[in-house]
Structure 1
């Protein structure tokens, strides 16, 4: 395949897209799809990508051009990039980042076409406001191309978009299958204030946090520091490498540091990727991190990305030698109170139904996956069958029917350090 392919999508469909109070009709007979297969050819679209980001539903640091560029430079060596740029009536209306990667299932290795997120975030999808139109055109284009994949598996889909994704797949003559993917704990800040949130916590939990905070104040000099630069465009892009190093040091003293397959901040297979992401997030004004110190010694951290009031908790951890003092809970409580004062909207605590997440969260959100299993791809049909059997038998019915190849640096489960 040529590194960059331009192809007109010939059909007579029209798609209505609503933006604010205006409705635009895109004539798909005038649609053009440009396929990009390497970063060099994608570079000219950087500015357009950045412009569309602000109009993208549930956009985050992971939707930025810079994040994809960094991710691909570190982990794209055994994947195939397929970014589809969607043009209609001469206007760029959307960008759909895709890739083909190898995943292992019970039927063997399967070539999967999907989004290039690698479970680092919670939500993903087309870049731009006209997601239904972009998906329709992209899928029409893919249907007319030689298939280099066994299975289409679009994960991290917003439930509000999942039905439209399914219809877009069906509109090109394919069968679609929609299911739940991951469940995350979320703290919503916009519906109450700190006093109301704190009062809604269980009495036992409030008492425990208060008691541990008083013990720390009595025995140590306690300091809480949070850093959120506004970005280079505002003349404020200090990455505070000293605080980042504090987070690394705490991570090295956390219980997960002994894992041989983990991907905490300190693990070698992701360390350079995450440090580069740190610099990029600081430059974009999307970095947020907090450290709790006892007698000037870093003992707990929370490392986030943020965009438009939405916080994403990438990693958290505490020094396990201080486990009895509960610095993790104290740090989280202070961070939540500070987020209320800053006017933040939400904090995504990530997947995993840990006790502390249940106690702090105000809601649970579930992302979707929309899949297509071509009849002529027998491996794909094997995956479909094992998923169906698993759904019939329950979560423990079949071992490993959804297992994947764990690539270096891929955050398969995004399990975070437990907060003490």
Structure 2
């Protein structure tokens, strides 16, 4: 086991090799189940993420145990180098990216874990900035941020996402009562228009022997639209494709995968890549055939998925990702996510914080005024 122990905080151990990280899976997932029980925090999700997006990076997974040796806190970090305003920077960051949806510190006792992890990191002079990305409002990661701020370290925040979500009622009729009449009428009109073109059906895929072929169908549909033109579709990058393919296999085996297809005469015209977990549906990736945009196949599939989620007794539909107009047709509720920056208490750290949160915003404001 490759691990680093810094003596003033004896309960915190850093795991820095993949083999040791793999052995943590049972107790890691038990910790997730007892705290922030979402799929993005589970060991299997993080392992798939590391294998595809950070295979060459060095993990720095902070773990905290109680006197009986039980895992009570975990913070999966990665070590790397980047630059800020042209300056080389040693960065310790969340084991996460945009495909992780959200990130947080796991802890049975949030304040105690945050204090221990902060004390551990503060002893280390080998980093300039610690970055926790997309921490949800009320997340335990904020406790670490507050510990750093209270200790006088330079810190800053940047709101990254407002992700819409829908608390699901007990019946479809009750949910429909929350929607705008005009929007419901538009959905009915678009459905009739699509049905005039052929037979409309909905398919749910949870795994099985045809999973790879079904995934390819969804990948192709997503890449056919604006995501393909921007180069952000799942299939256009080897790492991204590998991540979603492996995640689908893992989720299918565990009974958490939910791929939905809206079909027109058997051809997929809308697609959702989702996970069903803990009474919630998480929409990771949607796609639709833009040649049928006048029929809004993506929204018609949304209607079908929501209807089924309610029928299955789920309590929430989580859109994930950024706030978008089409999502707001279905809900007004959002979850805020924030990037938390903690800079080391050094001359460089304080200069980087000032540049990020004072000098750069001031310069942008001057430029904006000059352009007006």
TM-score for both structures, normalised by structure 2: 0.88
Give the direction of change, closer, same or farther, for the CA distance of 1:313–1:384 in structure 2 (3 Å limit). farther
- Determine the C-alpha separation between the residues in 1 that align with 2:361 and 2:174: 40
What displacement does 1:100 show? 2.0
Return 5+ residue gaps in structure 1 as ranges: 11-30, 230-236, 399-420
Alignment of 1:21-420 (within 5 A): 31-57=10-36, 59-91=37-69, 92-145=71-124, 147-161=125-139, 163-170=142-149, 174-190=153-169, 193-228=171-206, 240-260=211-231, 262-376=232-346, 378=348, 381-389=351-359
- Determine the C-alpha separation between the residues in 1 that align with 2:354 and 2:259: 41
**CA contact 2:115–2:147 (8 Å) conserved in 1:** yes
Give the direction of change, closer, same or farther, for the CA distance of 1:370–1:62 in structure 2 (3 Å limit). same
- Determine the C-alpha separation between the residues in 2 that align with 1:181 and 1:321: 31
Q: Which moved more, 1:118-127 or 1:39-48?
A: 118-127
Return 5+ residue gaps in structure 2 as ranges: none
Match of 1:123, SS state, is coil
Give the direction of change, closer, same or farther, for the CA distance of 1:289–1:397 in structure 2 (3 Å limit). farther
- Determine the C-alpha separation between the residues in 2 that align with 1:112 and 1:34: 19
Between Structure 1 and Structure 2, the one with more helix by share is 2
- Determine the C-alpha separation between the residues in 1 that align with 2:176 and 2:358: 42
Number of equivalenced pairs: 366
Match of 2:220, SS state, is helix
- Determine the C-alpha separation between the residues in 2 that align with 1:144 and 1:347: 42
Deviations 1:73-116 (A, max 9, x none): 22224532100111121332122111123344323443322211
Match of 2:99, SS state, is coil
**CA contact 1:374–1:381 (8 Å) conserved in 2:** no
**CA contact 2:94–2:132 (8 Å) conserved in 1:** yes
- Determine the C-alpha separation between the residues in 1 that align with 2:364 and 2:317: 30
- Determine the C-alpha separation between the residues in 1 that align with 2:72 and 2:101: 24
**CA contact 2:274–2:285 (8 Å) conserved in 1:** yes
What displacement does 1:204 show? 2.0
What displacement does 1:298 show? 0.9
- Determine the C-alpha separation between the residues in 1 that align with 2:98 and 2:84: 17
TM-score for both structures, normalised by structure 1: 0.79
- Determine the C-alpha separation between the residues in 1 that align with 2:84 and 2:282: 30
**CA contact 1:178–1:369 (8 Å) conserved in 2:** yes
**CA contact 2:161–2:323 (8 Å) conserved in 1:** no
What displacement does 1:320 show? 1.9
CA RMSD of aligned residues (A): 2.7
Q: Which moved more, 1:290-299 or 1:265-274?
A: 265-274
- Determine the C-alpha separation between the residues in 2 that align with 1:117 and 1:349: 18
Give the direction of change, closer, same or farther, for the CA distance of 1:353–1:180 in structure 2 (3 Å limit). closer
Deviations 1:197-246 (A, max 9, x none): 223222221111111112222331111012346xxxxxxx7773343222
**CA contact 1:159–1:366 (8 Å) conserved in 2:** yes
Give the direction of change, closer, same or farther, for the CA distance of 1:340–1:382 in structure 2 (3 Å limit). same
- Determine the C-alpha separation between the residues in 2 that align with 1:53 and 1:353: 27
What displacement does 1:339 show? 1.0
Please name the residue that 2:3 is paired with: 4
Deviations 1:311-368 (A, max 9, x none): 2211101122222222111111111111111122222223334321121223011113
